[in-house]
Amino acid sequence: MIESLINKVLLITFILCLLNGLKHIWNVINNLREDVPSKYTISTKERFLLGLSLAYIITTFFTGIGI
């Protein structure tokens, strides 16, 4: 029972990491599509969370979600 709960939490975490990565990709594309493209800047906190999200996504591809 607890294993099932942990797997669900890990799945939700994976989905949130994907959404975070897609948000940043969308923002980069929107910045490039402007008439005068601007530099894409993110705060240190956002950069740290994006790095964690990408690390978790890459790790999940190699190991899987289950425990």
What local confidence, expressed as pLDDT, does residue 39 receive? 84
What local confidence, expressed as pLDDT, does residue 67 receive? 67
pTM metric for this prediction:
0.84
User: What's the token pair of residue 55?
Assistant: 């690390």
- Tens digit of pLDDT at every position of the chain (67 positions): 888 899 899 999 999 999 999 999 999 999 988 888 888 889 999 999 999 999 999 999 898 776 6
What local confidence, expressed as pLDDT, does residue 40 receive? 83
Nearest to 64 by CA among 11, 2, 9: 11
Is residue 48 classed as helix, strand or coil in its secondary structure? helix
String of DSSP letters for 16-39: HHHHHHHHHHHHHHHHHHSSS---
What local confidence, expressed as pLDDT, does residue 66 receive? 66
Do 56 and 17 form a contact (C-beta atoms < 8 A)? yes
